[in-house]
Chain A
Amino acid sequence: AQTVTQSQPEMSVQEAETVTLSCTYDTSESDYYLFWYKQPPSRQMILVIRQEAYKQQNATENRFSVNFQKAAKSFSLKISDSQLGDAAMYFCAYRSGYTNAGKSTFGDGTTLTVKP
């Protein structure tokens, strides 16, 4: 079974600075998909960014980018120019590429605080 580990329960960043959230995963599969989700306090969880394992190029969405290291099974999220609205819990998630079920395995999350 796949596992996802987020080793940083809490992180903080100064507004306008850059922060990196860590995620490692364990799998024996070669085809899979990785995701970062954001869960603001009392609001819906939303998708931030996704990465297909077969793509070597790191995904980027505006101020959010990932550093995908397949051999190391590492998938970190970098948030540039942090804003107060980035404060939330961030979850890393894994989906197998061998089933079509869309089942996600989540890490336990990192709470990000943004200081003004």
Chain B
Amino acid sequence: EAEVAQSPRYKITEKSQAVAFWCDPISGHATLYWYRQILGQGPELLVQFQDESVVDDSQLPKDRFSAERLKGVDSTLKIQPAELGDSAMYLCASSSRGGNLDTQYFGPGTRLTVL
């Protein structure tokens, strides 16, 4: 069964350093989501792509976060510089078309610890 792949699974960094996370959605899925999940809370959408275009990045802290999906397939989320408050699980999800009823398939996440 096809799955959403994410790497790395774990990342430890010091504050002010740059970090990058990678996501490979299920083949053929046009919509890709990046969520941030702080421990003890539900996921919060950071950015949503439809193919290579950003559909929603209203909750993305654009002064330090950036995301790209250049060819409309895999995606990279970058944080520069990392801050202590960025420690969280970063989840990637994909769906076929991004419709309201589409099933979103989640990856295993990248757990980021900022020291």
Which B residues lie within 8 Å of A62 (CB)? Answer: none
The answer to whether A4 touches B101, judged by C-beta atoms less than 8 angstroms apart, is: no
Q: A44-B107, A108-B41 are in contact. Are A102 and B102 (CB under 8 A)?
A: yes
Chain B 73-115 per-residue mask, 1 if CB under 8 angstroms from chain A, else 0? 0000000000000000001010100111111111111000000
Interface size on A, residues (CB 8 A): 25
The answer to whether B103 touches A101, judged by C-beta atoms less than 8 angstroms apart, is: no
Chain A 10-35 per-residue mask, 1 if CB under 8 angstroms from chain B, else 0? 00000000000000000000000100
Select one of B31, B42, B91, B108 contacting A102, CB under 8 A: B31
Nearest Cβ on chain A to B97's Cβ, whole angstroms: 8
Select one of B95, B100, B106 contacting A45, CB under 8 A: B106
Which A residues lie within 8 Å of B102 (CB)? Answer: 102
Q: A33-B101, A44-B3 are in contact. Are A101 and B48 (CB under 8 A)?
A: yes
The answer to whether A50 touches B101, judged by C-beta atoms less than 8 angstroms apart, is: yes
Interface size on B, residues (CB 8 A): 28
Which B residues lie within 8 Å of A33 (CB)? Answer: 100-101
Nearest Cβ on chain A to B108's Cβ, whole angstroms: 5
Nearest Cβ on chain A to B41's Cβ, whole angstroms: 5
- Cβ-based interface call for B61 (8 A): no
- Cβ-based interface call for B55 (8 A): yes
C-alpha spacing A50/B102, complex, angstroms: 10
Complex: chain B residue closest to A33, CB-CB:
B100
Interface residues of B in 1-37 (CB under 8 A from A): 3-4, 31, 33
The answer to whether A109 touches B41, judged by C-beta atoms less than 8 angstroms apart, is: yes
The answer to whether B108 touches A96, judged by C-beta atoms less than 8 angstroms apart, is: no
Interface residues of A in 36-61 (CB under 8 A from B): 42-47, 50, 52
Query: Can you show 23 pairs from A to B with CB atoms below 8 A apart?
Result: A33-B100, A44-B4, A44-B107, A44-B108, A45-B91, A45-B93, A46-B106, A47-B103, A50-B101, A91-B43, A96-B100, A99-B100, A100-B98, A100-B100, A101-B48, A101-B55, A102-B31, A102-B33, A103-B45, A104-B104, A106-B42, A109-B41, A109-B42
The interface of chain B, by Cβ under 8 A from chain A, is 3-4, 31, 33, 40-45, 48, 55-56, 91, 93, 95, 98-109
